[in-house]
Structure 1
Amino acid sequence: MANRKSKIEKTSLDHISSVPFFIQIAETMKRRILSGQYDPGKQLFTGEELEKEFQTSNITIRKALDKLKNDGFVERRRGLGTTVSRIEETPLTFELGRSFKKLKESIQKLNTQVKVLEITTTRSSEYVQNFLSMDSEQDIWRMKRLRIFNGLPVSFNTYYTDPTSCNKISKADAEKDDILHTIEQAKKIRFHKVNQTLRSVAADLDISSALEIPYGAPVFFNETTYHPASGKALLLSQNYFRGDMFIFRTSSLL
């Protein structure tokens, strides 16, 4: 596969976006590397060529290349220029199907760690109140967690429920993989049904900060309500997954 163009084509930067130019360039180069436009071990364009393509300064290009190097996408050696690293993609795969148990088991098989960011009781928004059929004056129990893979935050999860009994859940309990079982034990109930939605959204400042991704980067957003046999939703989870780290896979009979 050819690694260089015979003619430098200009690529316009987004001057309206709040994302710095060097990050826009670095993310563009990452996509090119992952899509196979640049061969591993081959020399990348020179700084001068990249300046011409992106119509920006040498300082901006150097910052973009530094980010690519720090993220493991390129190697920079004196006298040899910048070469493309061999990237071994390890996407995290979730199995989606009619059984929530299958999805739950696929998550638990991942070699990830959980970090609790917050456990608190606070005023709930109208949005959450509607999901959980709560009174407007009623407080809500909220927990925020990160799931970490190879030292990298890959999902950001927020759970909401009635504070009854959940105030007994400690940080150590909340860092267990099977948080649903922990909540079931605290509430002395058993969830029988889940309702889920999955869509793609752009990371806002909170999500980009938590997942260490650029503002506006695409993420998978999963919203789930958990229901006991009585039918009323007692738990709401909002989960953001890095778009560059996850594959959601399903199969069904025709």
Structure 2
Amino acid sequence: MTKYEQIADIIRKRIKEGIYPTDSWLPNQVDLVDEFQVSRVTIKKAMNILTMEGLVYSQRGAGTRVLNNDLLGVDNYSAKDYEGLSVQMKGRDLKSHIIYFNVEFPDELVQKRLMISAHQPVYKIIRLRIVDGNPYVIEHSFMPTNIVLNLTVDVLKKSIYDYIHQELGLGFAGALRNIKADRPDDYDKEFLKCGDCDPILELDQVIYLKDGKIIDYSRSRSRFDQRSYSVLDVIDN
């Protein structure tokens, strides 16, 4: 676990225990730097995690306030999160069942999303993520083989994003996301136990690296009653 994740854990616990109550202001960054003996960049990364979780928001010149997030359910997550399910489900029992894994040439849609040619091979990955013993989300992912090197089954059973960050040394710069409702397909019916008329919540996204290349095109599909997304929008006057 990184230092900023440790700091985020500590502050999250203080919020839940009421040490930092709803609508109160967190200590300023200078005080947090002194307390944890880290850089302001590390504190800012910790604050970004808590902001994405809907626990706090920061406003320039004012500070960081603890939010009343009662409107967020247990499985409500920020639409701006970049770290994937392994981070979101930290502290819960998360397993991955590999439904399909192969290297293929991309079809027209994947070419367009990844901005690659028809002759550039990609990993095609379909995984069922299981949380606390229950089927939770099906991830359909496509990644260029020349960027995500040496991807293996062992990596797929853990966290692909951890592998990208820690083993390949690549950082994300941003993402384009679309959230929509859809009808269940055969995978949803088999692995998520959806009925023919149960709606599916789909998060369709592409993730960019700092050099502008696209590293991931994915579709994450969940049952309508198991997952939702939120956006914290703060106007900085």
TM-score range, shorter chain: 0.5 to 0.7
Say whether residues 1:207 and 2:188 are aligned partners. yes
Structure 1 segment 18-167 matched on structure 2, within 5 A: 92-96=74-78, 98=80, 100=82, 105-164=87-146, 166=148
Pick from 179, 203, 225 the counterpart of residue 206 of structure 2.
225
**TM-score (normalised: structure 1):** 0.56
Say whether residues 1:236 and 2:217 are aligned partners. yes
**Matches of 2:156 and 2:122 in 1, distance apart?**
16
**Matches of 2:147 and 2:82 in 1, distance apart?**
25
**Matches of 1:102 and 1:113 in 2, distance apart?**
13
Alpha-carbon RMSD across the aligned residues, in angstroms, is 2.6
Structure 1 residue 182 displacement after superposition: 1.2
Identify if the C-alpha distance between structure 1 residues 99 and 184 changes in structure 2 by more than 3 Å, giving closer, same or farther: closer
Runs of 5+ consecutive residues of structure 2 not aligned to the other structure: 1-72
Runs of 5+ consecutive residues of structure 1 not aligned to the other structure: 1-90
Larger Rg: 1
Partner SS, residue 100 of structure 1:
coil
**TM-score (normalised: structure 2):** 0.60
Query: Across the two proteins, how many residue pairs are aligned to each other?
Result: 163
**Matches of 2:98 and 2:170 in 1, distance apart?**
23
**Matches of 1:187 and 1:242 in 2, distance apart?**
33
Contact 1:119 1:142 in 2 (8 A): yes
**Matches of 2:82 and 2:132 in 1, distance apart?**
26
Contact 2:104 2:123 in 1 (8 A): yes
Deviant stretches of 4+, over 6 Å? none
Partner SS, residue 190 of structure 2:
helix
Partner SS, residue 209 of structure 1:
helix
AA of the residue aligned to 1:93? D
Identify if the C-alpha distance between structure 1 residues 183 and 221 changes in structure 2 by more than 3 Å, giving closer, same or farther: same
**Matches of 1:157 and 1:98 in 2, distance apart?**
17
Partner SS, residue 214 of structure 2:
coil
**Matches of 1:98 and 1:132 in 2, distance apart?**
20
